[in-house]
Amino acid sequence: MPRRPLARLASALGAGALLLAGCANPSTGSADDDPTKPVTLTFWHGWSEKNEVKAINDSIARFEKLHPNITVKSVGNVTDETINQALRAGGGDAPDVVTSFTTNNVGQYCSSGMWVDLDPFMEKTGLDKKKVFPKTLLDYTSYQGKQCALPLLADAYGMYYNKDAFKEAGIERPPRTMSELKRDAAKLTRRTKGGGLERVGFMPNFRLYQNSPDRLFAQWGPAYFDKDGKARLAKEGKIKAFYATVRDLIREQGGYGALETFRTSFGDEFSSQNAFLTGKLAMHLDGEWRGLFLKDAKFDWGTAPLPVPDDQADTYGRGFLTGTVTGIAHSSKHQNAAWELVRFLTADTDQVVAFANAIHNVPSTKAALTSPKLDPDPAFRAFLDIAQNKYSNALPPSVNGGQYVVSLRDFSYGVEAGKVHDLDKGLKELDDQIDADILQAQD
């Protein structure tokens, strides 16, 4: 190439590079606003069901009554993907207060600075987080000491079971250990005359509704990372027992192919065609909110903690914990006013109890968990006990959000289908993958 065109090309590339170097998001917000002055806040949340939207709108109405100078513009059914993209894009319509239905992305939100650190706001307004929130919930809303989110109600996972089916099969109580689960699941599984599946005792398949490897694996109390932050699933002996249990359950109820084909006949989990509601599942892993959707069930149902491994029988009562989290967008220009909304939604005991009762979620403050105003429904109370069980556990936050959970999930799909023949090798590769992904996400 002649020298002049080369020089022109180099100049063009240099100019482009300089232009691109300024691509960091410039829309940084501020915490200089006066929260007593009139202001309109934009609040993004994920609730979309009619009763849930009503409950959050009622909460906002209560807040606006307490803070007449603040108007809240509420936007529902917002996904994490939308939040992630919108906060990066910036712009005038970006939200001030954001929520996420999963704790998986907290590490990403905190480390990237997308959600602001809430500790200075708590200090400013005298909120002692350790006194207000349970430790597990504080852990899953912070990353490396940065509290960029607070819990906005929690979710505990347990078991829903069909009492009529239990009676018919001669089973007196829900299973407490994995051995009992396997035995009862096999008893409850029913076939059609043609040999197909009519009802499954307990379907462990990871793609079923709220099932996912991390939620079921929580019954074993796993440690995902070592003290240096390296993935340690290959060294975690519990994962082999977990996969063995899942494979046993699948084998004893008809095999992976038959179960997956049966699963494709299930309706949407939030519709009247939910497989538990239509009697296709006798026992089912789910969260505390499901009870609200089972009002029209044509059978008697109950709730209980999920079984635990036989060698950890003393941990019975535990479950997987997660929850909705809320925080303030880095681009918000009204961060002090936004904090008032976050503080009200997360730390006001009456508000937390009222909201928890309305949408059947687990309250996320110590005071609300012991409030006498909480819904006395025993099916709901079972989940409150799971939430307060000392062995219950949540996922550790990571710099790249829930990417390691996705990697675990992908690997687990192969295991449940019987496609992973060398588990040790597979787990080692999974660890390497998780470590590589984390390294890739670091600055």
Indicate which single residue of 69, 125, 144, 265 sits in contact with other proteins (rule: CB under 8 A). Answer: 265
Burial of 434 (0-12, 13-18, 19+ CB in 10 A): buried
Q: Which is nearer to other proteins, 225 or 413 (CB)?
A: 413
Least Å distance, CB 385 to other proteins, is 24
Q: Does position 140 bind other proteins by CB under 8 A?
A: no
**Choices 76-84, 335-343, 354-362, 376-384 (CB under 8 A): range interacting with other proteins:** 76-84
Q: Which is nearer to other proteins, 36 or 79 (CB)?
A: 79
In terms of Cα–Cα distance, which of 176, 180, 111 is closest to 148? 111
Indicate which single residue of 4, 20, 192, 378 sits in contact with other proteins (rule: CB under 8 A). Answer: 20
In terms of Cα–Cα distance, which of 87, 78, 110 is closest to 396? 110
Least Å distance, CB 79 to other proteins, is 5
Q: Which is nearer to other proteins, 104 or 141 (CB)?
A: 104
CA distance 327 to 44: 10
Q: Which is nearer to other proteins, 61 or 75 (CB)?
A: 75
Binders of other proteins in range 183-222 (CB under 8 A): 207-209
What DSSP letter does each residue of 242-265 carry, written as one string?
HHHHHHHHHHHTT-HHHHHHHHTT
Binders of other proteins in range 284-323 (CB under 8 A): none
**Choices 20-28, 54-62, 130-138, 340-348 (CB under 8 A): range interacting with other proteins:** 20-28
Least Å distance, CB 415 to other proteins, is 12
Least Å distance, CB 245 to other proteins, is 22
CB-based contacts of 103, cutoff 8 Å, min separation 6: 140, 141, 322, 323, 325, 394, 395, 397
Provide the residue type at 100 as one letter.
S
> Which DSSP state fits 388?
H
In terms of Cα–Cα distance, which of 57, 289, 307 is closest to 202? 307
Q: Does position 30 bind other proteins by CB under 8 A?
A: no
Indicate which single residue of 53, 241, 417, 420 sits in contact with other proteins (rule: CB under 8 A). Answer: 417
Q: How far is CA 197 from CA 260, 301, 395, in A?
A: 11, 21, 34
Q: Does position 261 bind other proteins by CB under 8 A?
A: yes
CA distance 117 to 109: 10
Q: Does position 24 bind other proteins by CB under 8 A?
A: yes
CA distance 377 to 150: 26
Least Å distance, CB 46 to other proteins, is 3
Least Å distance, CB 67 to other proteins, is 26
Q: Does position 50 bind other proteins by CB under 8 A?
A: no
Q: Does position 25 bind other proteins by CB under 8 A?
A: yes
Instruction: Give bridge partners of residue 41 from the DSSP assignment.
Output: 72
In terms of Cα–Cα distance, which of 244, 146, 177, 154 is closest to 204? 244
Q: What are phi and psi of 34, to 5 degrees?
A: -95, 115
Q: Which is nearer to other proteins, 25 or 371 (CB)?
A: 25
CA distance 167 to 176: 17
What count of Cα atoms within 13 Å lies in the side-chain half-sphere of residue 155? 19
Q: What are phi and psi of 73, to 5 degrees?
A: -95, 115
Binding mask 91-130 for other proteins (x = CB under 8 A): ---------xxx-x---x---xxx----------------
Indicate which single residue of 405, 408, 415, 427 sits in contact with other proteins (rule: CB under 8 A). Answer: 405
Q: Which is nearer to other proteins, 67 or 146 (CB)?
A: 146
Q: Summarize as ranges the residues that interact with other proteins (CB under 8 A).
A: 12-13, 16-17, 20-21, 23-25, 46-48, 77-81, 84-85, 87-88, 100-102, 104, 108, 112-114, 207-209, 260-266, 268-270, 330, 400-403, 405-406, 409-410, 413-414, 417, 419, 429, 432-433, 436, 440-441, 443
